Amino acid sequence: QKPKRAKDAAYHQEKMLLCKQEEAGIQLNVEQADWKDDTDDESNDQELEAHYIEQIDQYDKDVDLAEERELLASLIEKLKCDIDEN
């Protein structure tokens, strides 16, 4: 796997220029085309990672809600017992 470049202003400018060249029908050389394809894959990887993080967060929230529901049910039962004893 190729080392990743820092995503600074030069990185984004180069990618933008390559995209504009490609849109204008200018043939990219092999190195340029490979770099552009690699950076496109990075975007897809980042989107996929963000999606998975979102799913994990939602799962964690669901688990927390289930645990909270169980605790509340237990507390209600204890309160009912306390009321019945009095």
Per-residue pLDDT of 43-76, as tens digits, reads 666 777 788 888 888 888 988 999 999 999 999 9
Reported confidence tier of residue 3, pLDDT bands at 50, 70, 90: low
Residue 60 lies in a domain: yes
| CA separation for the pair 21, 14 (Å, rounded) | 11
- The number of domains in the chain is 1
Tell me the three state secondary structure of residue 24: coil
Please give the residue range of the domain that contains residue 78.
9-85
Residue 59 lies in a domain: yes
Is the model's pTM score more than 0.75? Answer: no
Determine whether 76 is exposed, middle or buried from the number of CB atoms within 10 Å of its CB (0-12, 13-18, 19+).
Answer: exposed
Residue 19 lies in a domain: yes
Residue 3 lies in a domain: no
Residue 4 lies in a domain: no
| CA separation for the pair 32, 14 (Å, rounded) | 10
